[in-house]
């Protein structure tokens, strides 16, 4: 299984040297890809007592595309993946441009992972409509594929109008591979139509099995081979326990996961040294 590492941005929020050291260690240890998360704004729970999201203003998130550009410059082999970018709260052409730039700077090592998000406060602050996010994302995906693969684009949809425009430079990969995060049925349908892979974000339980079965059905309906579609599982716990991480990875593998990602952002692993030790221990356990 390809092995990935989730950038622990909340642990390294004020330490660019730690990001560099962690990233280069990921590549040197032999991991296959790095996931970079996305949030633009945090919410002050005291100012918004109705807010009940998992992250707030105390959690540090580095800007996704700036961080990906930096990682592209300090690595040579490992793939880079946004996991996941909240696409409908952003301008489509700008995201297409930013993604193309990361792909160029990395030499074609970029996967654009996208989702529709859960934070209504963030949508409000970015002046984007929460209720239309699913329909808007579907159109965004189509529009971006045109921009990545065609010299000149003329496109008119419900939310976008491109009249004789184009990206320059265009990406190395045409189109850039798309991965999808989330669990909604509409997302599974979009993934089957446009995607290279799915990031379930949950646990390897009966609900995940049911969604995987549904996804395979949607892939077949799109005349696509489910065996060539990626499933990235996240191994996310609250403490350092490589043995339990490996058991979770095996459970995911048993139901169809193709990629496994170590997610240490919410654990008690704080220091850069402990982070690197955890990466080494997990890989060694998986291969042992």
Question: Which one-letter DSSP state was computed for residue 229?
Answer: S
- What integer is the mean pLDDT of 12-21? 90
What pLDDT was estimated at residue 14?
85
Asked if residue 201 has pLDDT above 80, the reply is yes
From first CA to last CA, the distance across the chain in angstroms is 14
Residue 209 belongs to domain with CATH number: 3.20.20.30
Confirm if 67 and 85 have CB atoms less than 8 A apart: no
Name the E strands within 28-186: 33-36, 79-82, 85-86, 110-115, 153-156, 161-165, 178-181
Asked if residue 267 has pLDDT above 80, the reply is no
Q: Which structural domain, as residue segments, surrounds residue 29?
A: 3-287
Work out the percent of the chain whose per-residue pLDDT is above 70: 99
Which pairing describes strands 161-165 and 153-156: parallel, antiparallel, or unpaired? antiparallel
State pLDDT tens for residues 42-89.
999 999 999 999 999 999 999 999 999 999 999 999 999 999 999 999
Mean pLDDT (the chain, rounded):
95
State pLDDT tens for residues 90-125.
999 999 999 999 999 999 999 999 999 999 999 999
**What is the pTM assigned to this prediction?**
0.96
What's the structural domain count of the chain? Answer: 1
Q: Which of 180, 199, 202 has its CA nearest to residue 190?
A: 180
Asked if residue 222 has pLDDT above 70, the reply is yes
Which residue would you say has higher pLDDT here, 288 or 229? 229
What pLDDT was estimated at residue 269?
76
State pLDDT tens for residues 134-176.
999 999 999 999 999 999 999 999 999 999 999 999 999 999 9
Q: Which of 50, 2, 38, 18 has its CA nearest to residue 274?
A: 18
266 pLDDT band (50/70/90 cuts)?
low
What pLDDT was estimated at residue 72?
98
Asked if residue 270 has pLDDT above 90, the reply is no
Strand, helix or coil for residue 155: strand
């Amino acid at each position: 299984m390809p092995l990935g590492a989730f950038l622990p941005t909340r642990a390294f929020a004020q330490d660019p040297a730690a990001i560099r050291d962690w990233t280069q260690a990921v590549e040197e240890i032999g991991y296959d890809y790095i996931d970079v998360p996305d949030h633009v704004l945090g919410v002050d729970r005291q100012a918004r007592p109705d807010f009940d999201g998992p992250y707030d203003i105390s959690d540090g998130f580095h800007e996704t595309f700036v961080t990906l550009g930096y990682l592209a410059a300090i690595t040579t082999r490992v793939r880079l993946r946004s996991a996941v970018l909240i696409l409908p709260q952003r301008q489509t052409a700008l995201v297409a441009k930013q993604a193309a730039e990361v792909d160029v700077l990395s030499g074609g090592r970029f996967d654009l992972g996208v989702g529709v998000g859960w934070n209504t406060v963030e949508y409000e602050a970015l002046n984007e409509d929460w209720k239309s996010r699913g329909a808007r994302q579907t159109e965004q995906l189509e529009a971006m594929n045109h921009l990545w693969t065609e010299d000149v684009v003329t496109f008119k949809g419900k939310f976008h109008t491109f009249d004789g425009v184009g990206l320059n430079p265009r990406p190395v990969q045409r189109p850039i591979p798309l991965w999808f995060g989330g669990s909604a049925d509409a997302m599974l349908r979009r993934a089957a139509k446009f995607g290279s892979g799915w990031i379930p974000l949950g646990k390897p339980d009966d609900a995940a099995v049911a969604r995987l079965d549904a996804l395979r059905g949607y892939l077949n309906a799109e005349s696509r081979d489910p065996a060539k579609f990626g499933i990235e599982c996240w191994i996310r716990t609250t403490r350092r326990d490589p043995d339990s991480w490996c058991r979770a990875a095996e459970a995911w593998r048993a139901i169809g996961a193709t990629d496994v990602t170590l997610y240490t952002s919410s654990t008690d692993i704080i220091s850069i040294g402990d982070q690197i030790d955890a990466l080494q221990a997990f890989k060694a356990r998986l291969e042992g």
